[in-house]
Structure 1
Amino acid sequence: MKLLTNFWRDEAGLVMSAELVLLGTVGVIGATVGISAASTAINDELVEFSHAIRSLDQSYEVQGHTSCRAWTASSSYRQQDVDKSLADLCGQIDRANRAVEKKREMKRKAPPKSSDLRKKMEAKKRKAKQQKKNEA
């Protein structure tokens, strides 16, 4: 028990609580800044990699062959220009966004009232009767 009491009262090597808080704060801020820098660097590398992959030209051409009575057909593919395909892709995205916005706008409109629907149905019935009378 005396040993435990000596440890409790010993102040050699003690880190003050204010120093501990300061060291902890500096450590957390340093870790946060480091993680942010790593995240930015990784994102930049992935963007560069995606541009490099997109810039690969996949065009090819294979010449046909003819001899005696046998022949093989030729084949080729010409890749669309990168800038044009990106513009086309962006146009498709814009069209899709407009379609989604139009659907949202349709959902926002209030549904028709039952009395309005009843009036439309009666008008259609009257019109059908008029057409039958005109045909007869």
Structure 2
Amino acid sequence: MNMLNKFWNDEAGFVVSSELVLIGTILVLGVVVGLATVRDQVVQELGDLALAISNINQSYSFSGVTGHTSSTAGSMFEDLTDFCDPTTDTADEEPACIFVQIDPEPEGP
């Protein structure tokens, strides 16, 4: 009975476990917020990369060539902008046509 009373009255581990729960909770909240920020920034950078790639002008042209006994006609290709490409790009804007958050649809009939 004496040993049971010692265990019942012992509170040495209580402070340590409550501190660990508090520290663990703060760490988990910080990790969640940090990962959400990393996700948003990765999407932003990938959108900027896609915009940079879409701004590469792939137009080409060459004129006809005439030799001694043969000739070839010229050719031309003009790269037009896509429907989603913005005319200007700034660092503070979200990438074109990339949405990180979509508004929820209303529930019910």
TM-score class, shorter-chain normalisation, is 0.5 to 0.7
Q: Is 1:70 matched with 2:70?
A: yes
Q: CA RMSD in A?
A: 2.2
| CA distance in 2 between partners of 1:16 and 1:68 (Å) | 94
Match of residue 86 from structure 1:
83
Percent identity reads 34
TM-score, normalisation: structure 2: 0.59
Cα deviations by residue, 1:80-115 (Å, 9 ceiling, x for unpaired): 2x2xx316xxxxxxxxxxxxxxxxxxxxxxxxxxxx
Which runs of structure 1 show a deviation greater than 3 angstroms over 4 or more consecutive aligned residues?
Answer: none
Larger displacement relative to structure 2 (13-22 or 56-65): 13-22
Q: How many residues align?
A: 74
TM-score, normalisation: structure 1: 0.48
Q: Mind listing any 5+ residue stretches in structure 1 that lack a counterpart?
A: 1-8, 88-136
Q: How does 1:103-114 map to 2 (within 5 A)?
A: none
| CA distance in 1 between partners of 2:14 and 2:22 (Å) | 15
Greater helix share, structure number: 1
| CA distance in 2 between partners of 1:15 and 1:60 (Å) | 73
What code does the residue aligned with 1:32 have?
A: V
| CA distance in 1 between partners of 2:61 and 2:83 (Å) | 24
Match of residue 44 from structure 1:
44
Higher relative contact order (CA 8 A, sep 6+): 2
Cα deviations by residue, 1:18-60 (Å, 9 ceiling, x for unpaired): 1011011011011111111110110100111111111111100
